[in-house]
Amino acid sequence: MQSFRLIRPRTAQEAVSAAAQGGAASRFIAGGTTLYDLMKLNIERPGQVIDITGIGELHRIETAGEELRFGALAPMSAVATDAVVSRDHPVLAEALAKAASQQLRNMASVGGNLLQRTRCPYFRNGAGGVYPCNKREPGSGCAAIGGLDRSQAVLGTSEACTAVSPGDWPVALVAVDAGIELLGPNGPRSMPVDALYRLPGETPQHEFTLAPGEMITAITVPRRNAGRLSTYHKIRDRESYAFALASAAVVLELEGDRIAQARVALGGVATRPWRAPAAEQMLAGQRLTPELALAAGHAAFRDARAGHHNAFKLELGARTVADALIIAAERRP
Amino acid sequence: MSRNDDISAKGDPEDRNRASPQGDSTDPLSLNRRATLGIGAAMASSALSVVPLRAQSPQVTALPEGTTAIRTLVNGRPVAVTIDVRTSLLDLLRETLALTGAKKGCDHGQCGACTVHLDGRRVASCLTLAAKADGREVLTIEGLSHGDALHPMQQAFIDHDALQCGYCTPGQIMAAVACVAEGNATSRERIREYMSGSICRCGAYVGIVAAIEDAASRMGRG
Amino acid sequence: MPAPPFADRPRIDALDKVRGAAAYAADMRFPGLLHAMTVPSPVARGRVAALETEAALRIPGVTRILTPADFAPTQRVADLPNSPRPGLVPEIAFRGEPLALIVAETLEAAIEGAEAVRVRIEGAPFSATVDSPGAAREPAPDVSTGDAARALAGASTIVEASYESPTQHHNPIELLSTTAVWADGRLLIHEGSQNAGAIKVAVARTLGIDPAIVDVKSATVGGAFGQKGWVQRQTALVARAAMLTGRPVKLVAPRGQIFHLATFRPLSRHRIRLGADATGRMVGVHYEVDQQNSRSGGFPANQYHDGAMRLYGIADYAGIAANIRTDTQAPGHMRAPYEHPACFAFESAVDELSYRLGRDPVALRMANDTRTDMHTGKPLSSRFLNECLQIGAERFGWSRRNPAPASMAAPDGTQIGWGVACGLYPTLIHPAVATLRIAADGSTRFAVAGHEFGQGIRTALAAVLTRELQIDERRLQILVGDTTAAPQHLTAGSWGSASALPLVVQAVARMRQAVAELLDGRRIAGTLHQQIATVRRPFLEVEVSQVGPGQDSAALQRMRAGGYAVTGPAYPDFTTMSYIAHFVEVRVEPRTRRVRVPRVVSIADCGRVVSPRTAASQVRGGVVWGISHALREATETDPRYGGFLNNDLAEYVVATNADVDEIDVGFVDEPDPLFNSIGLKSLGEVSMVGVSAAVANAVFHATGRRLRKLPIRVDDLL
């Protein structure tokens, strides 16, 4: 790890100003569970690190209004166990609780977690020149394509990159049409969480749509989009403390015994948090049966493309969606 | 803050890579500049020693490039130290403060052997920049028991043989104490889930779960 | 006369361990300590054309960079546990081979320095996996008995199948850590090791110094599992750095590098033909095994047969084996190195046979019991495998099992399967020397060959000491893993207790005799300590030694010289093995097909149990290893690059707390009448042998799917 300048601003405005001065080599650090990790791997090499955890205004959790509002620096564990979130919004609480470990959830912030970088082993192992990676060294090639691709994405891939977007929380937020508030050199703005993520295309090094020097200050969730008939279902290579092989965030709104609206998003299988409109359309207006749930799951993967070792993710992903739909529906009072 | 035993008593008196306690201060977080700089000078053998910190006037605010000064409470004792900005909290504890209870097992937040409490919450100290401990309280396994009296969790780990090689044990115990305090020790299933961030390669999980159930009842939680 | 049952007692070093006070190698502190970091090779084969170190040397705090020029040329020898390792060399034989060592004032500077070294390499073609072009198949000597071809020709039922056990890495949580101190003409090395005696000799040979000036201490080891039985490459590098700088130097190897530096469990492929007669008697086996090996690896391929051929009374057994030579670091011993993969394969085949015969798998196994080592024709000193099966079946409730595959399910459609499998492991022994010191101040000191890495050897020694002798346990010092206290031998292969514990009995007898001689007929009341105090001696010390059955003083000399001096399990008059039976329940989710293991019952025959509490922990740990190996662990190699891709604890998935549920452990606790004075046999490794087969057999029973390749994952069951 090379040395860096450490700055510890007290306000969001100070942080953004410091970032503007620091230029491209500047990084914000909150929990550090991604950035410091990648610095130790010599993959992130910032010249300036701005520790934003001292900015008190960004820690607040507000759950009283029609919109839930989470300050970007609220720890994942705090939001997961917030009384309102854990009681009324299981898809959010479960996505947080099934991520990483309690140690890491205490460190990681809900804003920083949106910017978690891929766990593709070819990306993480590359420093030192072993494996080419277009994300790490643009233009160097992708070792995962044609390589050991069991964990790689089957949705949203390109000829340049198949790296999975590893998060759980962003998947849940995309499912509930959450938004983010940003502060940058040109002032504040907001946008849907969904708009934060890019597809890899030919430039997999560009993962997010943040402008230079821009920071996430809050996450907003329309309360009615994340109701009690919801779940985040996650299948891993072990029971806990692992990244998803496949996951599904599901929220159901029922009218009588029929689904008025279903919200479905996928994790562990795509290059970005992945909304599944084909599945949602198939479910709308229908009575949920195990057969329909599975059909909706398969619909979610209609456009998927498998590599050598990850074809199982199409079936696993579909069944994960099906189980999530059934779990969510069973939460009917 | 109730105890004022000297942290240096744990280390080798000859060791130059060590911080000193600020025993004369009642509030460690309001240490004056001079005391802080004094600690910087204690790191004489490091690359930082090229700058004669003690000779500088208290008004000089510039620290050597790549360093930062922090003040923190470690196991109730105030510590002020100038560190390399890159240093992890784990390396600060182990290499500078001679608190070697927290262990390095992966250095990437993947095993839990380095678990300590930061402001009362369990964290992976290997993935925590030491600079982030500035103004905060750190509790390590060394600060869990008081003299010969073990914390109920420590005693339960002995009683249930919840360990073998012992290397992950300090991290397991710090995680376990937090698990109970969080209210996550209410069932075996929940304990297993909330203890999964601490890998025990010897496979003492059955004993660990039994120990936490036992200690939770003695701690009046769970 | 074998000992009566031992009482339950706490782990003797648990108090230090729960307080964070137990000192592992990386916890040792020395004034003026320097930190080291290695530069690993990014390629699997080639030659270093140039090492550009200028940029690294400019980094503040970097004090020195060791390169091949700092080492006398050393020849690579066959890789075995005690082999000396080369220093730094320009030829690259595997990915991750250390090319340079950075020494710096701080850890941060050492790491940055290692990253800043630029290496120019002339690459060479390589074969990374057993399926890579250029991987060379090299037959090993057969291990056969009787006439398997004839027996199989006469068999009425034959099962024929192929099984695969993947590459796996030990991953003890303690990283490989070496601290070397060069002072006053002596070299002191602190390292977490199972083999302090070999380090002493091997490092001296690499550095061209006299082993007599090298002291090695490995008092408390943070898990080992065979990884730390081999002399590590880094030890001599760090020692050399300490000698060149005149300051203590510490290296804690990053885990990603350890995947490429330490040994690993090689991939192995097993082809088995197992024949039975009409009565269900297993009559013949033809068993071929291939394993991955390195170009110079000595890890023998044919030892997979040593256990498998002794599991049942099968007179005709053809054991074929081969190494597949590839460009990796040497594979080596990882907990139950041969028996675990072999019993996965063999006990899966026996399960397949039980279905072909329509026999209950427990009854089939019990009907194939033996009292004889079919390989040597000698009697087994003890064998209570059928007792293990019987007790286990009762505790598990085996009689309630519906034998039909896919016949048991929970209301939600979760499939339930019950599987059984057996395991065995040789009981081995090495010569050892021990000293017992009893002091007038009430203290007691016992020093012997052995290493404590969590298996509980200190606790077992204390159990025997406190039974033989009235002592104050708070003033008891047990010295193991310390070449300054007693000659040290590799502690592995579950031979630690058998090699050390009987010496306690012998030493106490010698001590009583010595005290009697000292008292010369006087009668003094009280403990031995009080008697010694009364005659105004500060202490009395006795030394005793032991060799294994059939060994002579030459073996003792080999051990004293830091060599390998193990014998068994076939002794001149008998063969000694330990046994275990595992009963496993699995639950397979109806749709997403996750496999859970809610309960396991394991009953072991390890002879007399000396330390019941740590022994039970050993078995539970072995079961966790078995579950983890059956369902979780595999190291992956991309053949285009070599090395190991998933080289961290996030991607190399080991069992965590949520993966483990009930594990019920029992012991037959019948002392072995022949092997030693206490009646104990081996335990650490047998505890995991057969677990993976029991899991796979249970998955078959739950689903009707016979999975012959580990690990079993959702991919296989969708």
Annotate A136-196 with DSSP letters as a single string. Answer: TSTTS-BSSTTS--TTS-SBS--SS--PPP--SHHHHHHHTT-EEEEEETTEEEEEEGGGG
Give chain A's domains with CATH numbers: 5-54 (3.30.43.10), 229-330 (3.30.390.50)
End-of-domain residue from the set B85, B111, B143? B143
**B66 and B167 in a common domain:** no
- pLDDT tens for A249-305 read 999 999 999 999 999 999 999 999 999 999 999 999 999 999 999 999 999 999 999
Tell me, yes or no, if A127 comes closer than 8 A to chain C by beta carbon. yes
Give the gap in angstroms from C-alpha C525 to the nearest C-alpha of chain A.
58
How far is the C-alpha of C161 from the C-alpha of C355, rounded, in Å?
Answer: 14
Which residue of A49, A106, A113, A236 to mutate against B (max B Cβ within 10 Å)? A106
Q: Are C536 and C522 in contact (CB under 8 A)?
A: no
- Whole-number pLDDT of residue B50: 28
Say whether residue C455 is in contact with chain B using an 8 A CB cutoff: yes
Q: Pick from B112, B124, B198: which is nearest to A107 by CB?
A: B124
pLDDT at B67 over 90: yes
Q: What is the pLDDT of residue B17?
A: 34
Tally of structural domains, chain B: 2
> For residue C110, how many other CB atoms are within 10 A of its CB?
27
Name chain C contacts of B197, Cβ cutoff 8 Å.
Answer: 656
**Contact residues for B137 (Cβ-Cβ < 8 A; gap 6+):** B72, B73, B74, B117, B118, B119, B120
Q: Using CB atoms, which chains have 3+ pairs under 8 A with C?
A: A, B
Give the pLDDT score at A236.
98
Q: What does the buried/exposed string (b/e) look like for A293-320 if buried means 16 or more CB atoms within 10 Å of the residue's CB?
A: bbbbbbbbbeebebbeebbbbbbbbbbb
Structure-token pair, residue C220: 């408390």
Tell me the shortest Cα–Cα distance from A106 to chain B, in angstroms.
6
Using a CB–CB cutoff of 8 Å, tell me whether C29 touches chain B: yes
Task: Establish if B1 belongs to a structural domain.
Answer: no
**Quick one: B117 and B180 in the same domain?**
no
- Regarding whether B86 and B173 lie in a shared domain, the answer is no
Q: Is C648 in Cβ contact with B206 (below 8 Å)?
A: no
The contacts of residue C357 (CB under 8 Å, 6+ apart) are: C157, C276, C280, C364
Q: Are residues B32 and B119 in the same domain?
A: yes
Q: Do residues B58 and B167 share a domain?
A: no
Question: How much of chain A exceeds pLDDT 70, in percent?
Answer: 99
What does the DSSP assignment read for C88-125? S-SEE-STT-EEEEEEESSHHHHHHHHHH-EEEEEE--
Task: Tell whether B169 and B126 lie within a shared domain.
Answer: no
Please name the fold of domain C268-427+572-717: Aldehyde Oxidoreductase; domain 4 (3.30.365)
DSSP string for chain B: ------GGGGS-TT-SS---B-TT-S-GGG--HHHHHHHHHH-TTSGGGGS-GGGS-TT--PPPTTEEEEEEEETTEEEEEEEETT-BHHHIIIIIS---SS--S-SSSSS-TTEEEETTEEEEGGGSBGGGGTTSEEE-GGGTSBTTB--HHHHHHHHTT--SS-SSHHHHHHHHHHHHHTT--SSHHHHHHHTTTS--TT--HHHHHHHHHHHHHHTT--
Domain C25-125+176-252 of CATH type 3.30.70.330: no
- How far is Cα C605 from Cα B146, in angstroms, rounded to an integer? 42
CATH ID of C429-560, from 2.70.98.30, 3.30.70.1450, 3.30.365.10, 3.40.50.720: 3.30.365.10
Q: Which residues of chain C have pLDDT under 50?
A: none
How confident is the model over B19-24, as a mean pLDDT?
A: 38
What phi, psi does C677 have (nearest 5°)? -70, -20
Check CB contact of C75 with chain A, cutoff 8 Å. no
A53–B132 C-beta distance less than 8 A: yes
Q: Are residues B43 and B97 in the same domain?
A: yes
| CA–CA dist C371, C380 (Å, integer) | 6
How much is the pLDDT for C75? 75
Decide if A237 and C713 are in contact by the 8 Å CB cutoff.
yes
Residues A7-39: tens digit of each pLDDT: 999 999 999 999 999 999 999 999 999 999 999
Does one domain contain both B163 and B137? no
Q: Does B209 touch chain A (CB under 8 A)?
A: no
User: Which residue of chain B is at minimal alpha-carbon distance from A3?
Assistant: B66
Q: Determine the average pLDDT of the residues in A141-162.
A: 98
| C-alpha closest to that of A258 among A281, A280, A283 | A283
Chains with ≥3 CB–CB distances under 8 Å to A = B, C
The predicted pLDDT at position B64 comes to 86
Structure tokens at C694: 């029991």
In terms of domains, do B118 and B182 share one?
A: no
Is pLDDT of A107 > 80?
yes
- Rounded to whole angstroms, how far apart are CA atoms B180 and B219? 8
pLDDT score for A127:
64
Closest by Cβ to C592, choosing from A147, A237, A316: A316
Q: Are residues B31 and B119 in the same domain?
A: yes
Q: What pLDDT score was predicted for residue C580?
A: 98
Q: Which of C515, C440, C450, C512 is nearest to C487 (CA)?
A: C450
Q: Which residue among B143, B171, B203 closes a domain?
A: B143
Q: Rounded to whole angstroms, how far apart are CA atoms C509 and C586?
A: 50
Which domain does B194 fall in, by range? Answer: 152-218
What residues of chain B, 132 to 161, have a C-beta less than 8 Å from chain A? 132, 134
Phi/psi region, residue A310 (left: phi>0; alpha: psi -120 to 50; beta: rest), is alpha
Chain B residues with CB inside 8 Å of A103's CB? 109, 112, 115, 122-124, 175, 197-198
Residue with tokens 């019991």: C369
Chain A residues with CB-CB distance to B under 8 A? 1, 3-6, 8, 29, 32-33, 36-37, 39-41, 49, 51, 53, 75, 77, 81, 100-104, 106-107, 239-241
Place B19 in a pLDDT band, splitting at 50, 70 and 90: very low
Half-sphere exposure of B194 (CA within 13 A, CB side): 27
Cα C256 to Cα C254: distance, rounded to the nearest angstrom = 6
Neighbours of A281 (CB within 10 A): 12
Predicted pLDDT at C162: 98
Contact status of C8 with chain A (Cβ, < 8 Å): no
Residue pair C461/C455 in contact (Cβ under 8 Å)? The answer is no
Least confident of A113-127, B67-81, C703-717: A113-127
